[in-house]
Structure 1
Amino acid sequence: MSNAFRDLLRKVGSGNHTKEDLTRTEAAAATRMMLLREATPAQIGAFLIAHRIKRPTGAELAGMLDVYDELGPKLQPIGSSTPVMVLGIPYDGRDRTAPISPLTALLLTAAGQAMIMHGSDRMPTKYGVPLVEIWQGLGVDWTELSLDQTQQVFENTGLGFVYLPQHFPLAQKIFEYRDQIGKRPPFATMELMWCPYAGAAQIVAGYVHPPTEHMFQVALSLRGTNNFTTVKGLEGSCDLPRERTNIIGLSTPDITDESGLVAIDRLHLSSRDYGFSSHNVPCDPTEHLVADMRSVLQGKPSEMMQSAIWNGGFYLWRAGICADISAGITQAEAMFASGEVAQQLTRIIQAIESIQVRDRSYSQL
């Protein structure tokens, strides 16, 4: 048993009147001890549920991110003229609305904007469809790639996926505790801001509850991250809904607010203002979702196509590729219709196959 960890556990788990927030340094120490298994299973489980009940602070989340930055994997910088866009999406997947982000990633990388995604398999507490299953259905299997192989795909195509079971097993083991306690611990909030990239990046973090955005703002400001976007998206993802007004936060790197934090410009977007209907695509079985995505890649009109264009238009603008959202929507529609996005998927599949064939050949020498 770790006595040092017990002291930190006592602070967060002492009840409504005597509980204390951890400092950034203390949160980092607790995270490190959990990831390295210096704390016992009983201590880890108790900390995760106590910390959820207490609710995390931005400083605590910054400390957690410090340790992920220290112990976690990183894709190395590539020759990108713009910051790489890193999508922070809940690891426990989707079960009500269709994920759009794979189509967004294909569109943006086809347009020259490098992107990184990260995640795992079906996991607690939702056990919704994870991104890796969608990618596998599209013919892209990130789960078998080493970090070095993923780096090569990233360099060749502009798209990378950090897969926790393969690339960050220390963090993957924590999910066993999530299943047992039956609730998302603050780790689930921290992961939305995690940046497994060693170069200049723009963090895009999805969320559900408004207080989470302020925690993002505090944590990222403390860590010196001033290029980020917050999205009150579908099921806490970065996917823009169509049935309600989108609430989006755009960081202003050179401006701080009255608290000294990186300031956020508020943007409210309604899909209706851009000619879209108020309809989100439901989360069908994975094979149906993949079939719908393939239809989009073939340029066929559908509700998923409308969501893909809506999301693509926004992110093309946010990446600086298009002058405004209307221009982004026009470009997204044209790229799906012309087959450019489908060609990008083919390039990624071919890049993975080429790397795997080459590495198998080397191993046989």
Structure 2
Amino acid sequence: MSHQFRELLKKVGSGTHTSKQLTRQEAALATRMMLQQEATPAQIGAFLIAHRIRRPTSIELAGILDAYGVLGPRLSSQPSSKAAMVFGLPYDGRSRTAPAQPLVALLLATMGCPVVLHGSNCMPTKYGLPLIDIWQGLGIDWMGLSLAQVQAVFQATGVGFLYLPEQFPLAQGLVPYREQIGKRPPMATAELMWCPYAGDACLVSGYVHPPTEGLLTGTLDLQGIPHYLTVKGLEGSSDLPRARTAIIGIHRHGSEERLLLHAREYGLGDSSEFPLSEPLVYIEQLQQLLRGAPSPLMPVALWNGGFYLWQSGLCSSLEAGIAQAETLLVSGQVQETVTRLCDRIAASRRRDPLILR
């Protein structure tokens, strides 16, 4: 048993009236001790559920991210003048609405904007469709790659995906606790703000509940992130809704611009969000879109792709971004990016199959 960790546990688990906020340094220490399994399983489980019940603060989340910065992986910057876009999405995936994020990443990369994403397998508590499964459905298999191989793929294609079991096994080691406690732990909130990229970037964090937005802005300001977006997205993701107002906060160097966007004003709205059907059906819809064939996912792709092409600075307006997204999809240029990704991953495996992980 770690007596040092027990003192940290006592601070967060002493009840409504006597529990105390951890300092940023204490939160970082607690996170490092959990990631490195210096605390016992009983202590880790108790800490995670106690912290969940009490709710983390921005200072504590900043400490968690400090620990991730020390122990976690990081992709090196692209030799590009464009800032990368780094997306923080819920690791437990999507269960109700069709994800647009893979298409957004491919559209941005096709236009020369680097994109960094991270995630794991099907995960509690939602057990939704994770990004890794969508990538594999498109023939893009990030499994089994070392960090050096992911970096090489990123340098060649502009798309990088950090897969927890391979690139951050310490964090993957805490996943079983999510299932055992039956709740998302504080790490699930921190993951929305994790920026595993050493370069100029725009961080995009999705959320569901309004109080979470305050946690995001407070934490990212403490982290000194100069440019980030907060998106009240579908199922906590960065995907913009089409059936309701899209609420976005654009933060640059301490200032905030608030956007309220309506898809119907651009001919892309609907009375309900496009549902996530069976994964195989969804993958087929994605493939149809990439082939330039008619697909019911087109409005989803245009609304989200157009927005992020605009926010990346690749297009001068949302209207221009929507038009550019359609051109890229219909012309087959995004499919070419998929092919290039598949080929580069295959080449990386052939060149360095025995690289240490």
- TM-score between both structures, scaled by the size of structure 1: 0.95
255, 259, 274: which is aligned to 1:267?
259
259, 272, 275: which is aligned to 1:282?
275
Equivalent position of 1:234 in the other structure: 234
Verify: 1:332 aligned to 2:332, yes or no: no
Equivalent position of 2:87 in the other structure: 87
Amino acid aligned to 1:221:
D
Amino acid aligned to 1:276:
L
Equivalent position of 2:40 in the other structure: 40
Gaps of 5+ in 2: none
Equivalent position of 1:300 in the other structure: 293
> How far apart, CA to CA, are the structure 1 residues paired with 2:274 and 2:284?
13
Report the alpha carbon displacement of residue 317 of structure 1 after superposing the two structures with TM: 0.4
Report the alpha carbon displacement of residue 287 of structure 1 after superposing the two structures with TM: 1.1
Equivalent position of 1:181 in the other structure: 181
Verify: 1:354 aligned to 2:347, yes or no: yes
> How far apart, CA to CA, are the structure 2 residues paired with 1:25 and 1:167?
25
Report the alpha carbon displacement of residue 284 of structure 1 after superposing the two structures with TM: 1.4
Report the alpha carbon displacement of residue 266 of structure 1 after superposing the two structures with TM: 1.0
> Is the CA contact (8 Å cut-off) linking 2:286 and 2:295 kept in structure 1?
no
Amino acid aligned to 1:104:
V
Amino acid aligned to 1:252:
R
Amino acid aligned to 2:267:
G
> How far apart, CA to CA, are the structure 1 residues paired with 2:116 and 2:102?
11
Verify: 1:190 aligned to 2:160, yes or no: no
Verify: 1:343 aligned to 2:336, yes or no: yes
Amino acid aligned to 2:157:
T
**Counterpart of 1:188 in 2: which secondary structure?**
helix
Instruction: Encode CA deviations 1:185-211: one digit per residue, 9 max, x unaligned.
Output: 111000000011111111100111111
Structure 1, 351-360 or 53-62: larger mean CA deviation:
351-360
Equivalent position of 2:127 in the other structure: 127
Amino acid aligned to 1:101:
Q
> How far apart, CA to CA, are the structure 2 residues paired with 1:90 and 1:52?
16
> Is the CA contact (8 Å cut-off) linking 2:262 and 2:269 kept in structure 1?
no
- TM-score between both structures, scaled by the size of structure 2: 0.97
Aligned 1:155-170 pairs, distance under 5 A: 155-170=155-170
Report the alpha carbon displacement of residue 300 of structure 1 after superposing the two structures with TM: 2.5
Gaps of 5+ in 1: 254-261
Verify: 1:97 aligned to 2:97, yes or no: yes
> How far apart, CA to CA, are the structure 1 residues paired with 2:225 and 2:332?
36
> How far apart, CA to CA, are the structure 1 residues paired with 2:92 and 2:333?
31
Equivalent position of 2:65 in the other structure: 65
> How far apart, CA to CA, are the structure 2 residues paired with 1:200 and 1:181?
37
> How far apart, CA to CA, are the structure 2 residues paired with 1:29 and 1:195?
19
State how many pairs are aligned.
Answer: 354
Instruction: Encode CA deviations 1:177-230: one digit per residue, 9 max, x unaligned.
Output: 010000001110000000111111111001111111111111111111111011
> Is the CA contact (8 Å cut-off) linking 2:156 and 2:344 kept in structure 1?
yes
Report the alpha carbon displacement of residue 125 of structure 1 after superposing the two structures with TM: 0.5
> Is the CA contact (8 Å cut-off) linking 2:89 and 2:205 kept in structure 1?
yes
Instruction: Encode CA deviations 1:128-165: one digit per residue, 9 max, x unaligned.
Output: 11000010010000012111110000000000000000
Q: Give the RMSD, CA atoms, in angstroms.
A: 1.1
Amino acid aligned to 2:276:
C
Report the alpha carbon displacement of residue 281 of structure 1 after superposing the two structures with TM: 1.7
Amino acid aligned to 1:229:
L
Amino acid aligned to 1:57:
T
> How far apart, CA to CA, are the structure 2 residues paired with 1:78 and 1:316?
18
**Counterpart of 1:249 in 2: which secondary structure?**
strand
Amino acid aligned to 2:50:
A
**Counterpart of 1:327 in 2: which secondary structure?**
helix
Report the alpha carbon displacement of residue 34 of structure 1 after superposing the two structures with TM: 0.5
Report the alpha carbon displacement of residue 264 of structure 1 after superposing the two structures with TM: 2.3
> Is the CA contact (8 Å cut-off) linking 2:285 and 2:296 kept in structure 1?
no
**Counterpart of 1:193 in 2: which secondary structure?**
coil
> How far apart, CA to CA, are the structure 2 residues paired with 1:56 and 1:37?
21
Report the alpha carbon displacement of residue 328 of structure 1 after superposing the two structures with TM: 0.3
> How far apart, CA to CA, are the structure 2 residues paired with 1:281 and 1:100?
10
Equivalent position of 1:256 in the other structure: none
> Is the CA contact (8 Å cut-off) linking 2:309 and 2:315 kept in structure 1?
yes
Identity of aligned residues (%): 57
**Counterpart of 2:14 in 1: which secondary structure?**
coil
> How far apart, CA to CA, are the structure 1 residues paired with 2:52 and 2:33?
18
Verify: 1:108 aligned to 2:101, yes or no: no
Equivalent position of 1:15 in the other structure: 15
Report the alpha carbon displacement of residue 104 of structure 1 after superposing the two structures with TM: 0.7
> How far apart, CA to CA, are the structure 2 residues paired with 1:2 and 1:263?
43
